[in-house]
Amino acid sequence: MTSAARRSVGTPGLLVDRDGTVIRDVGYLSRIEQIEILPRAADALRVLRDCGLKIAIVTNQSAVGRGLLDEKGLEEIHRELEKRLSAAGASIDAIYYCPHHPTEAMGAYRIRCECRKPDTGMALRAAADLDLDLARSYVIGDKQSDMELASRVGARGILLDAKLAANSPAAVKDIWEAAERILADLEARARD
């Protein structure tokens, strides 16, 4: 990274996982009918957007590489998801997906790519496209790979894990609670 890039300011953003975070994790979702936005997810995204965060979904979709759907089908699913979120007042700025898998994918999709979380390719692309300051950004997800991504790009990670959240502050029970943590953090930063 050049010193000019380090000096660029950018805005805070939210990199949010898709399956198990915004929509129900059905395991290799491949049809529009399977989309089920989780309770309070649209509200959480709307509130964070209203606070000025740019929002990008970053999602590993090895279902593509495994041949369960093609990229056109995945993009249709994402258009439908964006439409439903936007109808609930929760427009998002972008969706990035990784179609690869290093061992289980077929053909050209079977590569060790730089986009599959916890690698940082999608986050860096979102930062470039949306002019994000990753050091002031947040990652919400339900897997350790999401938290590892946060740590690799210097963002703050918030883990969704209802079981863990029941007796530990290390996790929250859903995306709404994650949004509450982010709001508190933004307020604390504004006071600094």
Using DSSP, state whether 15 is helix, strand or coil: strand
From the CB of 97, what's the least distance to Zn ion, in Å? 8
What binding mask, one character per residue, do residues 136-165 give for Mg ion by CB under 5 A, x or -? ------x-----------------------
From the CB of 189, what's the least distance to Mg ion, in Å? 27
Give 105's DSSP letter: S
What binding mask, one character per residue, do residues 93-112 give for Zn ion by CB under 5 A, x or -? -----x-x------------
User: What residue 116 binds from Zn ion, Mg ion, none (CB within 5 to 8 A, per partner kind)?
Assistant: Zn ion
User: What residue 98 binds from Zn ion, Mg ion, none (CB within 5 to 8 A, per partner kind)?
Assistant: Zn ion
* Interface of this chain with Zn ion, residues 110 to 169, rule: CB under 5 A: 113, 115-116
Give me the DSSP letters along 49-98: HHTT-EEEEEEE-HHHHTTSS-HHHHHHHHHHHHHHHHHTT---SEEEEE
Nearest of 189, 186, 150, 190 to residue 48 by alpha carbon: 186
H or E stretch including 139?
strand 138-141
Which residues bind to Mg ion, rule: CB under 5 A? 17, 19-20, 142
